[in-house]
Structure 1
Amino acid sequence: MKKRFMGSVMLYITLSLTSIIAIAIMTMFASYWITEQADIDAYAINIGGSLRMQTYQIGFYTNAGLTEETKQTVSLFEAKLDSPIFNKLRQSPDVITVLQDLSVFWYQKVKPNLVANNPQLTQLLATQVEKANQIVSLLQKNAEHRIVLLRTIQLVAVFITLILGVLIIYLMKLWVQIPMAQLTKAAHAIGKGDFTQRVQIKGDDELALLAATLNHTCDAIAAMYGQLEKRVIEQTQELKRNNKALMFLFTTVRTMLEKQEHKIDYQKLLDELADLINVDNIELCLMTAQGDNPYLQVQNHQLTSHLCTTKNCNKCHGDAVFINISEPQNTLYPLVYNDINYGVLVVTNDLTMSPHSWQNQLIQSVADQVALSLNLADQHNKERRIALLQERTVIARELHDSLAQALSYLKIQVTRLDFSQKRLQYEQQQPIIDELRLGLDSAYRQLRELLTTFRLKVLDEGLHPALNKTLELLTEQSEMQFYLHFAIQQVPLSPMEEIHLLQIAREACQNTVHHSQGKHVWIDIKQSENNKIVLTVSDDGIGITQSAKLNHYGMAIMQERSKQLNGELKIRDRLGGGTEVELTFMPQSTLSQTSVKANNNDAE
């Protein structure tokens, strides 16, 4: 088909542009040539006018008897008369003739008669002025002639360009615009599904070839349209199936993550998976990492018996999807996460699935999600065990540092009382009984504080509400006024950091209630310039120097909690009276960001 169309639209356009460009270039070269000729006209006219002016000056200086000025003016006149600028005017014979005549007249007649009070000098100078005027007039006429010639060339170029432009526009409309309009109209109709369009363009250029090709394409598209509809239906069904698979996988992932503490319905999961991939035989076996048989076997409703009748999992261990040689009809998907095998998903399919098929990938994703869910459940259980152990350790430490010490003290007093009873030292029993009463009161008070401490927790809203709740309880138990300034709303703290902060603040406030003898307590929590958290508890009481011995157990507990935070606890007298407790530590969130920035800087 292409051999029948040997013309070229681009050739037409190229010729048109070449013609316009050629005219433009010729016009520019002609203008340049003319302006080059007229480049020295202004300077030559200026020189000619100077000759005329200096002629007047020579006559004036000569008649006035100014010999020195006359010589200088004569030298300047002769220099301009022999100026190189006139050598460039050889193409103007009239100017050259007058210039030579002026030069001969000067050297032969005027210069020899340059004598003061010479009656012929005035007439000679007048003649020389007329010759200089002739030179200026000729130079002016030559310059005007070049300007007229330049204008004529430009007008002719504009006229030719207009004619050529009209002709090119007409030809472009005939050869390009009309065929393009037909092709555009046909393309618009074809875009709407009308494949009966035909374009008739005469000629042998690319547009005619495009029209013939478009006609041929319409015939081919009309033939393929039926096949495309069938393929669209198939692709639509596949998209629906993929969308259904994605929704199933999304629901599965969300269910696995939301039900960490609740039992997951594996039966429903297998039934939905079997319906989705159109496979009847699916079984899920869950086992422990140390076990060799499953503790849970789940199958879809289509199965009448378990696939794994032996309940022996020695042959089901693996790191990836595999097929058991003894049972080639079964495909096994191990539930492995972090090198821990939680079981296996067994699928029996009548038709062999490709390793890259969507069914195989979906089953593998479900197996991975089940393994991840079981791993998260294990991690959650481990965290709960660790939290329980930590809580018991805290309880044991608190009992040892407070109530156990008090009971030991009471035991010593009872021993003293028994010793005085045996020696019949009745006068010493009353002080011992008083100390026992004080010790019992102190032990009871410490027991109540421990109960309050063990019941103390960080609310779901965070550390700030928990501190407010603690201060409300202390306000009810005493007559002191508590003021809280909480300025770390933008700093994320870990649960352990919040617990330690709350306990240290509570213990410091409790000490002020029992020992400070003050009226006001200020609690300030803020972030310093180096991103550290600073907790300050201060009062207006008697000061730490006089009350340190009364609550040394609480001091030790606060010191131990500050060490667990990797912080620094300072207890000192407050300026202006009272006690000030200051805790400074770096939170884990800020410490992690600092480590990341340091690593990035090292990498750079």
Structure 2
Amino acid sequence: MKKRFLGSVMFHITLSLSSIIAIAIMTMFASYWITEQADIDAYAINVGGSLRMQTYQIGFYTNTGLTDEAEKATLLFEKKLDSPIFSQLRQSTDVISVLNDLKLFWYEELKPNLSQNNPLLTQHLATQVLLANKMVTLLQNNAEHRIVLLRTIQLVAVFITLILGVLIFYLMKLWIQTPMAQLTQAAHAIGKGDFTQRVHVKGDDELALLAATLNHTCDAIAAMYGQLEKRVQEQTQELKRNNKALLFLFSTVRTMLEKQGHKIDYQKLLDQLTELINIQNIELCLMTAHGETPYLHLHNQQMKDHLCVAKNCNICFGDAVFTNIEKPDNTLYPLVYNNINYGVLVVSNDQTMSTHSWQNQLVQSVADQIALSLNLADQHNKERRIALLQERTVIARELHDSLAQALSYLKIQVTRLDFSQKKLQYDQQQPIIDELRLGLDSAYRQLRELLTTFRLKVLDEGLYPALNKTLELLTEQSDMHFSLNFAIQQVPLSPMEEIHLLQIAREACQNTVHHSQGRNVWIDVKQTHTNTVVLTISDDGIGITKTAKLNHYGMAIMQERAKQLNGELNISDRLGGGTEVMLTFTPQNSTAQ
């Protein structure tokens, strides 16, 4: 492009300035030359005029007989007539001719006739004066001619300068101002984002090159801008699609997590996935962890050819995404988690999805979420079964340690009563009957305690509402006042830990109601700086050492629960009167940290 523009704006500017400077220099040199020639014109005119005056003086002195003054005037006249000023004059031939005539007439005619009473003197003086006047007139005309010439040169220089200036201004506007205005306007519009601007500058100089470059740049930017807009639109569509996919995945994960243990609507999930990836042929088969045939088969209503029609589940087993050899259009996504196969998600498409396509990644993520959800459901069921077994073990242990022992004791007493009946030892039967009555009362009381214990539960809100509910029931059953200080809202307790804390607090509070003979009970639950949880139940009763009868069975239960928590249970007299039960243990979550 640069080879087509070999001209230069600076050349035009330099040429214009050079023309103006050349005219100015020529005018100054001409003026100097003319003024240099007219430098001595005034002096020459003055000397020529004085020759005329000297002629009059010579005639006057001669006619009056003043010989000495006449000689002096004659010497002065000849001196001025031979003045070197006339030799320095660059006059015309007329001035030189008149000067020669004046000298010739003086030396040949007037000077020889300088005598008093000479009749020709007056005529010669008049002729001499005429020659002097003629020379002065010629000198004056030449000086005026130089002045006129100087004025003419200056006027011509001014006229030429004006014409050249107007021409230069026009050319500068044509070559510089107009292109610069167009370039400035185009640059301003381009700065605002209008890349359709075009600048049309004729010529081959830098401004024309700049205009052509600017047009080329605008074309390139416009093309690039169009490509960027297209890419932005594509990226926007991709972002919208990814946003929908993320929202779908988030909704899927939240649904599966929220509905643990509940039935999940997989058909709705399948329909949403179909709409999102725009592939109509999708089917889902779910199997148990050890099953070989699906217990649930779902598909789109638009599907006509089902893979599972063949009832051959062996072709669907795998640990990664694969393609069915018999039907290359089918892509299978096994629902595998922890090496356990929970089924398969089949996508049938005329054009197989690429491995790195977003549809493939989305379907794979959905398959992983379904497998994870099913695995979590299995884990939840296992935990429930384990919890049920543990609870049955606890119930069996509680029955064995309490009611079974009491019944064994009653069985022994029945055996004694039967033995005394056979021996006719009637006097020994009444004490045995009394012991049987006491044993039955104790067994009945223990049975009620166990029923109350097994029916007690932690509410969904947590341990704090359950403690409040327990204290409300105890307040209704007694006249004692219960105060609760619960300061472990920030401590994450497991459900088993909450149950043991609730049971120990309930058992301790019941002991205060039955045995303390006090008026107030204080329950305090807090956490120490070492992440240890401390449960304290204290009362203002008679104290542990003065209690006449204590529920040793309840004490054993509390000790057993403290061991389950890997904690320590201490029962002692309270300072100021009463009993204090203190449980100290470290939660499992704090230990894990």
TM-score, normalized by the shorter chain, greater than 0.5: yes
Query: Which residue does 2:160 correspond to in 1?
Result: none
Query: Which residue does 1:121 correspond to in 2?
Result: none
Q: Which amino acid aligns with 2:505?
A: A
Q: List per-residue Cα deviations over 1:170-222 (Å, max 9, x = no partner).
A: xxxxx9xx9799658735555344512549799988x9976643322223455
**Are 1:526 and 2:522 matched, yes or no?**
no
Question: How many angstroms apart in 1 are the aligned matches of 2:276 and 2:527?
Answer: 55
Verify the 8 A CA contact 1:531 1:590 in the aligned structure 2.
Answer: yes
Q: List per-residue Cα deviations over 1:43-92 (Å, max 9, x = no partner).
A: xxxxxxxxxxxxxxxxxxxxxxxxxxxxxxxxxxxxxxxxxxxxxxxxxx
Q: Which amino acid aligns with 2:197?
A: T
Question: How many angstroms apart in 2 are the aligned matches of 1:582 and 1:519?
Answer: 19
Query: Which residue does 2:400 correspond to in 1?
Result: 400
**Are 1:195 and 2:188 matched, yes or no?**
no
Equivalences for residues 205-284 of structure 1 within 5 A? 212-221=212-221, 237-284=237-284
Q: List per-residue Cα deviations over 1:392-423 (Å, max 9, x = no partner).
A: 22222222222222222322332233233333
1:492 counterpart SS class: coil
Query: Which residue does 1:410 correspond to in 2?
Result: 410
Query: Which residue does 2:558 correspond to in 1?
Result: 558
Query: Which residue does 1:591 correspond to in 2?
Result: 591
Question: How many angstroms apart in 1 are the aligned matches of 2:496 and 2:285?
Answer: 38
Question: How many angstroms apart in 2 are the aligned matches of 1:180 and 1:399?
Answer: 105
Query: Which residue does 1:582 correspond to in 2?
Result: 582
1:354 counterpart SS class: coil
Question: How many angstroms apart in 1 are the aligned matches of 2:254 and 2:214?
Answer: 53
Q: CA deviation at 1:437?
A: 2.5
Equivalences for residues 102-501 of structure 1 within 5 A? 186-189=187-190, 191-193=192-194, 195-198=196-199, 212-221=212-221, 237-501=237-501
Query: Which residue does 2:537 correspond to in 1?
Result: 537
Q: Which amino acid aligns with 2:561?
A: R
Q: CA deviation at 1:504?
A: 0.9
Q: List per-residue Cα deviations over 1:493-517 (Å, max 9, x = no partner).
A: 2221111111111111222223334
Verify the 8 A CA contact 2:534 2:583 in the aligned structure 1.
Answer: yes
Q: CA deviation at 1:276?
A: 3.0
Question: How many angstroms apart in 1 are the aligned matches of 2:181 and 2:583?
Answer: 83
Residues 329 and 204 of structure 1, relative CA distance in 2, 3 Å threshold: same
Verify the 8 A CA contact 2:186 2:198 in the aligned structure 1.
Answer: no
Calculate percent identity across the aligned residue pairs. Answer: 78
Q: Which amino acid aligns with 2:196?
A: F
Residues 258 and 489 of structure 1, relative CA distance in 2, 3 Å threshold: closer
Q: Which amino acid aligns with 2:266?
A: Y
1:271 counterpart SS class: helix
Structure 1 stretches of 5 or more lacking a match?
A: 8-174, 594-604
Verify the 8 A CA contact 1:516 1:542 in the aligned structure 2.
Answer: yes
Question: How many angstroms apart in 2 are the aligned matches of 1:471 and 1:255?
Answer: 37
Q: CA deviation at 1:388?
A: 1.6
Question: How many angstroms apart in 2 are the aligned matches of 1:450 and 1:311?
Answer: 54
Question: How many angstroms apart in 1 are the aligned matches of 2:276 and 2:515?
Answer: 72
Verify the 8 A CA contact 1:330 1:349 in the aligned structure 2.
Answer: yes
1:544 counterpart SS class: coil
Question: How many angstroms apart in 1 are the aligned matches of 2:204 and 2:438?
Answer: 121
Q: Which amino acid aligns with 1:466?
A: A
Equivalences for residues 78-89 of structure 1 within 5 A? none
1:309 counterpart SS class: helix
Q: Which amino acid aligns with 2:187?
A: A
Question: How many angstroms apart in 2 are the aligned matches of 1:427 and 1:201?
Answer: 144
2:246 counterpart SS class: helix
Verify the 8 A CA contact 1:485 1:523 in the aligned structure 2.
Answer: yes
Residues 384 and 243 of structure 1, relative CA distance in 2, 3 Å threshold: same
Q: CA deviation at 1:532?
A: 0.8
Q: Tell me which moved more, 381-390 or 537-546.
A: 537-546
Residues 571 and 214 of structure 1, relative CA distance in 2, 3 Å threshold: same
Q: Which amino acid aligns with 2:291?
A: G
Question: How many angstroms apart in 1 are the aligned matches of 2:483 and 2:551?
Answer: 23
Question: How many angstroms apart in 2 are the aligned matches of 1:506 and 1:210?
Answer: 94
2:302 counterpart SS class: coil
Verify the 8 A CA contact 1:201 1:211 in the aligned structure 2.
Answer: no
Question: How many angstroms apart in 1 are the aligned matches of 2:6 and 2:255?
Answer: 67
Q: CA deviation at 1:364?
A: 1.0
Question: How many angstroms apart in 1 are the aligned matches of 2:468 and 2:431?
Answer: 42
Residues 497 and 201 of structure 1, relative CA distance in 2, 3 Å threshold: farther
Residues 185 and 491 of structure 1, relative CA distance in 2, 3 Å threshold: farther
Provide TM-score, normalisation by structure 2.
Answer: 0.64
Verify the 8 A CA contact 2:195 2:221 in the aligned structure 1.
Answer: no
Q: List per-residue Cα deviations over 1:360-386 (Å, max 9, x = no partner).
A: 112111111111111121122112212
Structure 2 stretches of 5 or more lacking a match?
A: 9-175
Question: How many angstroms apart in 1 are the aligned matches of 2:181 and 2:384?
Answer: 77
Question: How many angstroms apart in 2 are the aligned matches of 1:485 and 1:224?
Answer: 71
Residues 277 and 305 of structure 1, relative CA distance in 2, 3 Å threshold: same
Residues 573 and 334 of structure 1, relative CA distance in 2, 3 Å threshold: same
Residues 223 and 192 of structure 1, relative CA distance in 2, 3 Å threshold: closer
Verify the 8 A CA contact 2:541 2:578 in the aligned structure 1.
Answer: yes
Q: CA deviation at 1:490?
A: 2.7
Residues 182 and 551 of structure 1, relative CA distance in 2, 3 Å threshold: farther
Question: How many angstroms apart in 1 are the aligned matches of 2:439 and 2:510?
Answer: 19
Question: How many angstroms apart in 1 are the aligned matches of 2:588 and 2:400?
Answer: 29
Question: How many angstroms apart in 2 are the aligned matches of 1:404 and 1:443?
Answer: 9
Question: How many angstroms apart in 1 are the aligned matches of 2:191 and 2:385?
Answer: 71
Question: How many angstroms apart in 1 are the aligned matches of 2:470 and 2:233?
Answer: 67
Query: Which residue does 1:514 correspond to in 2?
Result: 514
Question: How many angstroms apart in 1 are the aligned matches of 2:355 and 2:567?
Answer: 55
Verify the 8 A CA contact 1:182 1:199 in the aligned structure 2.
Answer: no
Q: List per-residue Cα deviations over 1:323-353 (Å, max 9, x = no partner).
A: 2333323211111112211111112211122
Verify the 8 A CA contact 1:5 1:209 in the aligned structure 2.
Answer: no
Verify the 8 A CA contact 1:281 1:302 in the aligned structure 2.
Answer: yes
Question: How many angstroms apart in 2 are the aligned matches of 1:199 and 1:457?
Answer: 90
2:307 counterpart SS class: coil
Equivalences for residues 3-14 of structure 1 within 5 A? none
Which has more radius of gyration?
Answer: 2
Verify the 8 A CA contact 1:186 1:199 in the aligned structure 2.
Answer: no
Q: Which amino acid aligns with 2:558?
A: M
Residues 358 and 435 of structure 1, relative CA distance in 2, 3 Å threshold: same
Question: How many angstroms apart in 2 are the aligned matches of 1:238 and 1:531?
Answer: 49
Residues 211 and 422 of structure 1, relative CA distance in 2, 3 Å threshold: farther
Question: How many angstroms apart in 2 are the aligned matches of 1:300 and 1:513?
Answer: 65
Question: How many angstroms apart in 2 are the aligned matches of 1:514 and 1:286?
Answer: 57
Q: How many residues align?
A: 426
1:308 counterpart SS class: helix
Verify the 8 A CA contact 1:195 1:221 in the aligned structure 2.
Answer: no
